[in-house]
Amino acid sequence: MTPSARSLPMLRAATDGAQARRDRARRLSGLYAITPDLADTDDLVARVKAAAIGGASAIQYRNKIADAALRRRQAEALARVAKAHRVLLVINDDPALSMAVDADGVHVGREDGGVEAARRVVGPHRIVGVSCYDSFALAENAVAAGADYVAFGSFFPSIVKPDACRADPSLLRRAAALGVPVVAIGGIDASNVGEIVRAGASAAAVISAVFDAPDVEAAAGAIAAAFG
């Protein structure tokens, strides 16, 4: 077998992986619900189910208070919810956990090793999303490195991250030229989500306004509906 013939399966695998990522990334629109820090897995699962029923297209599992064992159990539980409700599951900051529970991808921030390091762990088929804060340059670099979506924020005062830098809404429309979904985050709720929709966001990443609501399903539905 010639070297060129041997390389064909690798080329096909790379092409298939890129297509799988594009297909997954295209599903990232509307409400992108990010989980709160909860130790009670049953409570977490119930809230995530309600968000999915309400219209979330994606769930990001993020729990900054859990140890590794609890994170694994919760991620496995949420993977089952995501598959049952046909929503994306993205794991925050932990490519290895994303692989372990067969999630759809991973989200990384400034301190998490970057796109290329995450890609080496999650492989070609899973999406890698990147926090770009208030920087278009970070987004350009992330996409050049293979990011499948970029996230900007905070756009409004945030309960979860009160000291987060503030992003200008013009970033959202400008980032549309990058050719990947553009996610807005930070203080978004049903009263202001229309502003980031009009500014060009593909999706709104929301924690408190969904998961702290007395009716999670209704809160999710109100935000998802803003995207039409």
pLDDT for 8: 52
Q: What is the C-alpha to C-alpha distance for residues 63 and 166, in angstroms, rounded to an integer?
A: 23
The single-letter code of the amino acid at 201 is: A
- 10-residue mean pLDDT profile of the chain (228 residues): values are 56 69 94 98 98 98 97 98 98 97 96 91 97 97 97 91 88 96 97 97 98 98 97
At residue 169, the pLDDT reads 95
Amino acid 6: pLDDT: 58
pLDDT for 62: 98
Amino acid, single-letter form, for residue 30: G
pTM over 0.85: yes
Cβ atoms of 146 and 116 closer than 8 Å = yes
Domains of the chain in sequence order: 3-225 (3.20.20.70)
pLDDT given for residue 5 in this prediction: 57
pLDDT at 193 (0 to 100): 98
Within 8 A by CB and 6+ apart from 181, the residues are: 25, 26, 28, 29, 148, 149, 150, 202, 203
Pairing mode, if any, of strands 105-108 and 127-133?
A: parallel
Q: Quick one: how many helices (H) and strands (E) in the chain?
A: 10, 8
SS3 of residue 201 by DSSP: coil
Residues 89 and 64 sit within 8 Å (Cβ to Cβ): no
